[in-house]
Amino acid sequence: MKIIQLFGISAFASLAFLGSCKPKGTETAVSGDAAEKVYVAPGKYDEVYNFVSGGFNGQMNVYGLPSGRLLKVVPIFSVNPENGYGYSEETKPMLETSHGFIPWDDQHHLELSQTNGEQDGRWIFANANNTPRVARVNLKTFRTEEIIELPNSAGNHSSPFITENTEYVVAGTRFAVPTDDMNGDVPINSFKENFKGVISFIGVNKETGDMNLSFQIEAPGVNFDLSHAGKGKSHGWFFFSCYNSEQANSLLEVNASQNDKDFIMAVNWKKAEEYLKAGKGRKVKTQYAHNKFDEKTQTATSKMEQEVTVLSAKELKDICYFMPTPKSPHGCDVDPTGEYIVGSGKLAALIPVHSFSKMLKAIENKEFAGEYDGIPILKYESTLYGEVQKPGLGPLHTEFDGKGNAYTSFFVSSEVVKWDIKTLKVLDRQPTFYSVGHLMVVGGDTKKPYGKYLVAYNKITKDRFLPTGPELTQSAQLYDISGDKMKLLLDFPTFGEPHYAQAVPASLIKDQQVKFYNIADNKHPYATKGEAESKVVRQGNKVHVYMTSIRSHFAPDNIEGIKVGDEVYFHVTNLEQDWDVPHGFAIKGNQNAELLIMPGETSTLKWVPKKPGMYPMYCTDFCSALHQEMQGYVRVSPAGSNVPLTYSLNNKADNAKSPVKTAVTK
Amino acid sequence: MKIIQLFGISAFASLAFLGSCKPKGTETAVSGDAAEKVYVAPGKYDEVYNFVSGGFNGQMNVYGLPSGRLLKVVPIFSVNPENGYGYSEETKPMLETSHGFIPWDDQHHLELSQTNGEQDGRWIFANANNTPRVARVNLKTFRTEEIIELPNSAGNHSSPFITENTEYVVAGTRFAVPTDDMNGDVPINSFKENFKGVISFIGVNKETGDMNLSFQIEAPGVNFDLSHAGKGKSHGWFFFSCYNSEQANSLLEVNASQNDKDFIMAVNWKKAEEYLKAGKGRKVKTQYAHNKFDEKTQTATSKMEQEVTVLSAKELKDICYFMPTPKSPHGCDVDPTGEYIVGSGKLAALIPVHSFSKMLKAIENKEFAGEYDGIPILKYESTLYGEVQKPGLGPLHTEFDGKGNAYTSFFVSSEVVKWDIKTLKVLDRQPTFYSVGHLMVVGGDTKKPYGKYLVAYNKITKDRFLPTGPELTQSAQLYDISGDKMKLLLDFPTFGEPHYAQAVPASLIKDQQVKFYNIADNKHPYATKGEAESKVVRQGNKVHVYMTSIRSHFAPDNIEGIKVGDEVYFHVTNLEQDWDVPHGFAIKGNQNAELLIMPGETSTLKWVPKKPGMYPMYCTDFCSALHQEMQGYVRVSPAGSNVPLTYSLNNKADNAKSPVKTAVTK
């Protein structure tokens, strides 16, 4: 067969090294005091919150450092049957998109909100790669509060990076596509003509964190990969790496690896704002979902937006500039001063460092090497501060410790390398096991890194942990970077696939936690604020159960008169007002997940019973010594039955004080 | 309101102690060498696999001990968007039930298969609590291979406990319900008349592990809570704890806590087998799903079974006996010799230990205290070996170290207590933080415990870890039990809600792992065993894409001519033949999860595009340095379009060797 002869395995022998190399000396050198350094004694707190992307699990995983313990999985883009996220009536709207409800995505990067280039501990933003979206998680509740879909985009990879006062979250398109006002139904081989790489600027409200899609920039159809905002002196600019400047649409492993240099695109977003104000954008009709969770009603709503303003980089010549960068650049990282922009070309054998000051001068002096699809290309020498020579193979990402050092991950040579930003000299290198992708220094992409720890997020673990069949864990490795040399402290497996991560000292966040919701503030339309108010209401074939839960019973806990064909909505209010006393709720045979209801909260589970019978319901979260007793029954009768709809708690024949009540019918 | 006056919070003040007590002295005493004892250096393996139930996450979590590191989450009863479990066409049938497809359940107990009362490392069984089911996971692949639904049951809690040669997995009903041959549509207050507690005996094939529902025993309508098989001398018997001997159907926290003693039910299952053979069972018409994953075709099928044989404990007087046990017994544990049956009454202030030998004699001598719903009640004194006095408050579960010691968890007084099985003397106690449910000793419910480690699985963590909003992690605590006194070594948070757990020395399992699937053995009907065989086939509105993945491209990677209204099935075969090289697959806007395809495996993702456009697809698992290049495009045209269905890899105008191919239409 022709294709396999050309592009089968054998043809790629020369690329075999790109798989991964086992570092030489698989004997792991570990610091002698490593055990003591990572041990967090029972009852003691970790020093750092580490927010790690879940990759293809779609969630955010929160670890403690230095212990490497998984403290929480925050559901963002994937349904979470465990606590009802994406299954409860309140949270279903969070996963709505212009394509309908989507139960999954691929979550790659996380960015903590900043004020003046420093972490402020308010929110963390997350991207969805597959169906382009950006989410905001509140760091007081560890809940996803908002998700906004991105039109004109695909493969939302260089996202969600932020400006130094969280003015914008940006998102760049990895898989170029026709914009939504073109007919997307075009031949794939019309790529160069029709496909674009659109960059989105999402404005963030300073007080509330609410996001809106402020504008987009239409850029050439290349693959935007990663990005970082300028800071300090370079505040007002954004930098995006791209590959596939060849604009290939098939077999990219060969066809997008032809050019010796691709680009970092510098975007003058302050200038873009001026053009926007001046009405230079075109209004593009499209559809994108904007989903918000309201903490007062504890309910999400999904709104379909209809329009976005797009600025053309080709027409507005002075908002985008291309800086040539070898080869297939992946990471695009800006040092704490804002002067140095590090491009890590995954097929390069050196690390180029661009100078922001030189770039400004080069633009001023028009030191151009030509144009790419209408965008000025700056001369490589004109923007280059220098190159780190022989750093390793396959550089991917760089972070900083605030002491003048940079740390770069190398996928192919499987190591992390420390180098001096000013001298560009390599200072130290440590192997990773195996094939590190991102790395992270605590606060390492801000103006004021906390330093101390570096974590490498590895793609391959093979023989590093007890094996678990064909599907193995991915992993993280913790290094102490407080001294001159990096010291490996710990391997810990990760949940999902770790891509980027960020971390903050625990002190910034731990004392602001919401412990429970004040029942008095609960504005949920179906809240039941005391057992006295519990009731059952029929509206046609919809039955609303206003239910309460408190240790250790539901009210009501006996319901009769549900009929096949009914849609039953259990609106369960957790009356507890103390920390760490959730109640769960589930009913047998329900084609749905459970609810996990926090104290003071109301959540709703829909149930459409399919056959007559006796259906137990119960509390799924071990809440007290009498948790096992926290149960009830719902009787379902055939359609057309005349069993009246009634409900009760503790009805007994001899107890006239706890009568069976008849449901209200509206 | 009447109900709240009677049963509101204030009325339960006397039960407040049942919530949880903070152990005295919150200063945690930790062994001085704890850090060294739990530290597993990078590249070293843990000593023990710890299989921990996920509780309300529905999955099984595999930890390494002593490090407490989460090695893997094995999806069983809940969908897992991360790897496509419950979303791929191959795995959807695993979650079918008589109620339809269910995306979630509540997974409480795990039991490793045994031969001669010892762990054999072949399978682990898991229960679903909400919609009664039992699953079997293969410990060579860490995959769920089989799930069987249980008719006539609800609240499948005392499950899946096994006999000493894995002859049977048993499962008892926690929420009594009418059996399926009665009309389930009966008044709830006809509980005493109509509701039954059915016990299921699931036979397990010695060679293959295949399960079948051999028979059920209809027992009185009480709440069967936990169970364990006899072993050694008591092999042939099974023991089930129950509460709610009051047969309350509402407000059980009050109404099911009235009797000073409930029961442990002893079941002579060898005798039951004789009755079964003699045709004493009644055939009950019902429906229950039986789902199997076939490793050869890598595809699950779901079959709806129609009948089960039920033996009546009331009619067949000598298969079930009630042993009175104080108060609301929860755990029901049998020591390694099979002689001692420990009942832990969660509202009791002592631990009763029954003697199997005494029980046999009492049965022989008819030392009955009466009958309960037709079942003989043995006299408490007649079966009692003795009582552990003042052990703590709220005993729940007991395991054994094989050296004559028992370890019991106490929820209310929040501690684990070591005591001597023979003398019944308390030997040691250690606080837990907080409110331990189950505990586990490695191999602690077998004839030959491994001992060394004990883990307490705690329900409340409150101030033990960095806080994460209202929803906090649950946790485990690791103790060294190799010496006379238990030593606390480590706290580690858990994923989901840990109930029961089991553990094995790593040596029993680690060398039997399947590393990848041999492509030659792949019998999947849509497998594509080389790029030469990749193709696209249209059958009406169904489009089958026979696709391959290998580092780092899909074949084909350009597809045109899909139309709105089509159902597209991507059958992706991972051609890799090495460990730890999965490929992922996702396509933009799909209302579905991703696929994560192991080497040699074929998986299928369904996609029903809703609007015309250009849809990128890509590999979601970082597979090589050119992983970012592993992408393709699918063009979707409007319904009725005449764009022909074509596919290609690396088609270029100047390359006649890689033509665009036209799909076959059947």
Ranges of beta strands (E only) in A316-441 are 320-326, 329-334, 340-345, 350-355, 368-372, 375-378, 384-389, 395-400, 405-410, 415-420, 426-431, 436-441
Chain B contact set for A658 (CB, 8 A)? 2-3, 6-7
Residue B334 in tokens: 């049998």
Inform me whether the pLDDT recorded for A407 exceeds 70: yes
Cα atoms in the Cβ-side hemisphere of radius 13 Å centred on A380: 12
Q: Give the pLDDT of residue B32.
A: 83
Q: Do B631 and A253 touch (CB under 8 A)?
A: no
pLDDT digits (tens, 9 = 90+) for B59-105: 999 999 999 999 999 999 999 999 999 999 999 999 999 999 999 99
Residue B659 in tokens: 């033509």
Task: Give CA–CA dist B260/A169, Å, rounded.
Answer: 63
Residue A40 in tokens: 């967090």
Q: Give the pLDDT of residue A525.
A: 98
Q: Do B39 and A35 touch (CB under 8 A)?
A: yes
Identify the three-state secondary structure at position B640.
coil
Task: Please give the class, per CATH, of domain B519-665.
Answer: mainly beta
What per-residue string of b and e applies to B576-613 under the rule 16 or more CB within 10 Å gives b? beebbbbbbbbbbbbbbbbbbbbbbbbbbbbbebeebb
Percent residues over pLDDT 90 in chain B: 92
- Residue B235 has a CB neighbour count (10 Å cut-off) of 18
Measured between CA atoms, the residue of chain A closest to residue B578 is: A470
pLDDT digits (tens, 9 = 90+) for A416-468: 999 999 999 999 999 999 999 999 999 999 999 999 999 999 999 999 999 99
- Indicate the pLDDT class of residue A657, thresholds 50, 70 and 90: low
**Phi, psi values for residue B152, rounded to 5°:** 60, 20
How deeply is A377 buried, as exposed, middle or buried, from its count of CB atoms within 10 A (0-12, 13-18, 19+)? middle
Q: Give the pLDDT of residue B30.
A: 80
How many Å lie between the alpha carbon of B232 and the closest alpha carbon of chain A?
Answer: 31
How many Å lie between the alpha carbon of A125 and the closest alpha carbon of chain B?
Answer: 16
pLDDT digits (tens, 9 = 90+) for A362-388: 999 999 999 999 999 999 999 999 999
Q: Is residue B249 left, alpha or beta, with left meaning phi > 0 and alpha meaning psi from -120 to 50?
A: alpha
Inform me whether the pLDDT recorded for A19 exceeds 70: no
Inform me whether the pLDDT recorded for A128 exceeds 80: yes
Measured between CA atoms, the residue of chain B closest to residue A461 is: B580
Element (H, E) at B276: helix B269-277
Task: Give CA–CA dist A191/B632, Å, rounded.
Answer: 12
Measured between CA atoms, the residue of chain B closest to residue A176 is: B616
DSSP string covering B238-264: EEEEEE-TT---S-HHHHTS--SEEEE
Interface of B with A in 451-470 (CB under 8 A): 459-462, 464-470
Chain B contact set for A640 (CB, 8 A)? none
Put simply, whether B29 touches A (Cβ < 8 Å) is no
pLDDT digits (tens, 9 = 90+) for A598-614: 999 999 999 999 999 99
pTM of this prediction?
0.96
Measured between CA atoms, the residue of chain B closest to residue A644 is: B187
Task: Give CA–CA dist B137/B147, Å, rounded.
Answer: 9
Say which residue the tokens 């130290």 belong to: A428
Report the candidate in A447, A234, A203 with the shortest Cα–Cα distance to residue A323. Answer: A234
**Do residues A264 and A227 make contact, with C-beta atoms less than 8 angstroms apart?**
no
In chain A, where the domains are located = 53-512, 522-665
Residue A124 in tokens: 């963390």
Q: According to the 3-state scheme, what is the secondary structure of B130-169? A: CCCEEEEEECCCCEEEEEEECCCCCCCCEEEEECCCCCEE
pLDDT digits (tens, 9 = 90+) for B537-594: 999 999 999 999 999 999 999 999 999 999 999 999 999 999 999 999 999 999 999 9
Task: Give CA–CA dist B327/B350, Å, rounded.
Answer: 9
Task: Give CA–CA dist B536/B548, Å, rounded.
Answer: 12
**Do residues B179 and B196 make contact, with C-beta atoms less than 8 angstroms apart?**
yes
Most distant CA pair in chain A, distance: 95
Measured between CA atoms, the residue of chain B closest to residue A622 is: B459
Ranges of beta strands (E only) in B564-654 are 567-574, 583-587, 595-597, 602-607, 613-618, 631-637, 646-648
pLDDT digits (tens, 9 = 90+) for A304-336: 999 999 999 999 999 999 999 999 999 999 999
Nearest to A621 among B56, B129, B580 (CB): B56
Range B423-436 average pLDDT? 97
Inform me whether the pLDDT recorded for B15 exceeds 90: no
**Do residues B129 and B102 make contact, with C-beta atoms less than 8 angstroms apart?**
no
Put simply, whether A31 touches B (Cβ < 8 Å) is no
Say which residue the tokens 């530290």 belong to: B39
Q: Do A587 and B70 touch (CB under 8 A)?
A: no
Chain A contact set for B68 (CB, 8 A)? 69
Chain A contact set for B154 (CB, 8 A)? 588, 614-616
- Residue B655 has a CB neighbour count (10 Å cut-off) of 11
Measured between CA atoms, the residue of chain B closest to residue A79 is: B81
DSSP string covering A326-361: ESSEEEEEE-TTS-EEEEEETT-SEEEEEEHHHHHH
Chain A contact set for B141 (CB, 8 A)? 469-470
Range B412-428 average pLDDT? 97
How many Å lie between the alpha carbon of B267 and the closest alpha carbon of chain A?
Answer: 23
How many Å lie between the alpha carbon of A309 and the closest alpha carbon of chain B?
Answer: 20
Q: Average pLDDT of chain A? A: 94
Range A176-180 average pLDDT? 96
Rg (CA), chain A: 28
Q: Give the pLDDT of residue A21.
A: 47
Start-to-end Cα distance in chain B: 69
CATH number of A53-512: 2.130.10.10
List, in order, residues 6 or more apart from A170 with CB less than 8 Å away: A158, A159, A160, A161, A162, A163, A199, A200, A201, A202, A227, A229, A238, A269
Task: Give CA–CA dist A556/A619, Å, rounded.
Answer: 13
CA distances from A153 to A158, A169, A218, B519, B610 (A): 11, 15, 10, 37, 17
Inform me whether the pLDDT recorded for A654 exceeds 70: no
Interface of B with A in 474-503 (CB under 8 A): 477, 488, 490-493, 495-497
Inform me whether the pLDDT recorded for B264 exceeds 80: yes
Task: Give CA–CA dist B102/B86, Å, rounded.
Answer: 9
**Phi, psi values for residue B359, rounded to 5°:** -60, -45
List, in order, residues 6 or more apart from A618 with CB less than 8 Å away: A585, A586, A630, A631, A632, B130, B155, B175
Rg (CA), chain B: 28
pLDDT digits (tens, 9 = 90+) for B177-209: 999 998 889 999 999 999 999 999 999 999 999
Q: At CA B35, angle to CA B31 and CA B37, rounded to 5?
A: 80
List, in order, residues 6 or more apart from A364 with CB less than 8 Å away: none
- How many A-B residue pairs are in contact by the CB < 8 A criterion? 575
Percent residues over pLDDT 70 in chain B: 95
List, in order, residues 6 or more apart from B132 with CB less than 8 Å away: A588, B149, B150, B153, B154, B155, B156, B159, B171, B173
Range A201-220 average pLDDT? 98
Measured between CA atoms, the residue of chain A closest to residue B554 is: A251
- Indicate the pLDDT class of residue A595, thresholds 50, 70 and 90: very high
Say which residue the tokens 């008095």 belong to: A520
**Do residues A96 and A103 make contact, with C-beta atoms less than 8 angstroms apart?**
no
How many Å lie between the alpha carbon of B329 and the closest alpha carbon of chain A?
Answer: 11
Q: At CA A267, angle to CA A261 and CA A270, rounded to 5?
A: 170
Task: Please give the class, per CATH, of domain B92-452.
Answer: mainly beta
Say which residue the tokens 């929480």 belong to: A72
CATH T-level topology, domain A522-665: Immunoglobulin-like (2.60.40)
Percent residues over pLDDT 90 in chain A: 92
Range A140-159 average pLDDT? 98
Q: Give the pLDDT of residue B121.
A: 98
How deeply is B518 buried, as exposed, middle or buried, from its count of CB atoms within 10 A (0-12, 13-18, 19+)? exposed
Inform me whether the pLDDT recorded for A91 exceeds 80: yes
- Indicate the pLDDT class of residue B659, thresholds 50, 70 and 90: confident
Element (H, E) at A194: helix A191-194
Inform me whether the pLDDT recorded for A2 exceeds 50: no
Count H helices, E strands: chain A? 7, 47
How many Å lie between the alpha carbon of B340 and the closest alpha carbon of chain A?
Answer: 25
Q: Give the pLDDT of residue B657.
A: 60
Report the candidate in B638, B622, B486 with the shortest Cα–Cα distance to residue A499. Answer: B622
Strand A436-441 vs strand A453-458: parallel, antiparallel, or unpaired?
antiparallel
List, in order, residues 6 or more apart from A520 with CB less than 8 Å away: none
Identify the three-state secondary structure at position A101.
strand
**Do residues A336 and A402 make contact, with C-beta atoms less than 8 angstroms apart?**
yes
Task: Give CA–CA dist B441/B443, Å, rounded.
Answer: 6
Name which residue leads in pLDDT, B11 or A272. A272
How many Å lie between the alpha carbon of A122 and the closest alpha carbon of chain B?
Answer: 13
Put simply, whether B525 touches A (Cβ < 8 Å) is no
**Do residues A89 and A107 make contact, with C-beta atoms less than 8 angstroms apart?**
no
Range B605-628 average pLDDT? 96
Inform me whether the pLDDT recorded for A11 exceeds 90: no
**Phi, psi values for residue A100, rounded to 5°:** 100, -170
Task: Give CA–CA dist B415/B660, Å, rounded.
Answer: 70
Interface of B with A in 158-197 (CB under 8 A): 174-175, 177-178, 183-189, 195
Range B303-325 average pLDDT? 97
DSSP state of A1: -
Report the candidate in B128, B24, B53 with the shortest Cα–Cα distance to residue B397. Answer: B53
Chain B contact set for A628 (CB, 8 A)? 157, 174, 223, 225, 243, 328, 330, 346
Q: Do B633 and A188 touch (CB under 8 A)?
A: yes
Range A205-212 average pLDDT? 98
Nearest to B629 among A100, A188, A252 (CB): A252
Inform me whether the pLDDT recorded for B37 exceeds 90: yes
Interface of A with B in 301-330 (CB under 8 A): 328, 330
Put simply, whether B473 touches A (Cβ < 8 Å) is yes
Range B511-535 average pLDDT? 97
Identify the three-state secondary structure at position A108.
coil
Task: Give CA–CA dist A413/A395, Å, rounded.
Answer: 9
DSSP string covering A85-100: BTTSTTTGGGGEETTE
How many Å lie between the alpha carbon of A70 and the closest alpha carbon of chain B?
Answer: 6
Element (H, E) at B212: strand B211-220
Chain A contact set for B81 (CB, 8 A)? 57-58, 78-79, 103-104
Q: Give the pLDDT of residue B24.
A: 52
